[in-house]
Amino acid sequence: MAVTASESEESMLLDMVRDLVREKVAPRAAEIDAVGEFPWDMKELLAKQDILAMPFPEEYGGLGSSEVTILKTIEELAKACATTALILCVQQLGSLPILLVGTEEQKQRYIPRLATGEWLAAYALTEPGSGSDAGAMRTRAEKRGDTYVLNGVKHFITNAGIAHVNTVFAVTDPSAGTRGTSAFVVEADRPGFRMGKAENKMGIRGSQTGELVFEDCVIPAENLLGKEGDGFKIGLMTLDRTRPGIAAQALGIAQGALDFATDYAKQRVQFGKPIFENQAIQFMLADMDIKVEAARRLVYHVGELMDQGVPRFTRESAIAKTFASDIAMEVTNDAIQVLGGYGYMKEFPVERMMRDAKICQIYEGTNQIQRLVIARALGQK
């Protein structure tokens, strides 16, 4: 089959990413996890190589990359360092509402500096009492003349305190349920807006997660995204499109663990031969490979649907995220078992990979919620 120019360009880009991961990202992964601080050097690396520009249209300074290419890039980064992969995931997540419903003025104001990586983005939906139940949101946005005044707390927000552009969801009409939620852009320097508690996490420890606090935070009415009451719809539209990125992150973690376990099994000698020659180990690795490859097909498939302009892919997005994150936990757990006692030690990366994999079953919609989404789609057939 002839290779098209776009396929050739994708192949070259992914080769560059693999070299970058091998030379720059992988050597930093353990330290990023140990220190638990945001890796600004990795952010600058991704920005310098235009990786952060991938999700953005060319007219705003981006690369306009296909969704499949973005997913493959996230996968490659996550093979070595889930935290570094998450920088790209969240740059897309926090910016996508602006791309989906923002005015031309809003896009011109924010997107070019997000595409260069000069600015980081955040997506602020979750609250202490409103996780899976987004309808229980309590953060309020009150219209006062040509401004909105925000009050409330957001919780478990990735890039809290370091994002320059925050997509924030707040209630504008408490009587309207989910139809009373609206979406806003809140810049980091707005008076009355600050970071609260920073979380100490089990995994993705280099990604800064924390609270966003709004105390009479005044923003101009022009920072409203779409119309009042559109917030819930915007949130769902965004997560449908970014959930596959978390699936790709989980896929990368699983592949990284499988690769390491396979290499270890070929080198580790017990009873006079490499443990890879033990059929029990071979079957474990084969099952891991089957799961990873099945996840890869699901992840790439939903990316292809998005690139084709298919109007609805909620079910496929939920399936990819659920399956990939579940197998990431299974595969990383099995990788530790292959390494035995060594797998339990921080000297080897598979225990970090298992800790990193767990969050993929939780954020951007828990897998229990995803199964409800899938079941609802079945019921509508």
Q: Which residues are catalytic?
A: 364
Q: In degrees rounded to 5, what are phi and psi of residue 19?
A: -65, -40
Element (H, E) at 210: strand 209-220
If we measure between CA atoms, which residue out of 80, 81, 87, 83 comes closest to residue 70?
87
The 10 Å CB-count burial string (b at 16+, else e) for 31-66 is ebbeeeebbeebbebbbebbbbbbbbeeebebbebb
Q: Is 174 helix (H, G, I), strand (E, B) or coil?
A: helix
Q: Tokens for 196, please give them.
A: 């609260």
**Cα–Cα distance between 335 and 244 in angstroms, integer?**
24
Q: What is the CA radius of gyration of the chain?
A: 21
First to last CA, the chain: 36
Strands 224-225 and 209-220: unpaired
**Cα–Cα distance between 300 and 100 in angstroms, integer?**
22
If we measure between CA atoms, which residue out of 199, 193, 168 comes closest to residue 94?
168
What secondary structure letter does DSSP report for 127?
Answer: B
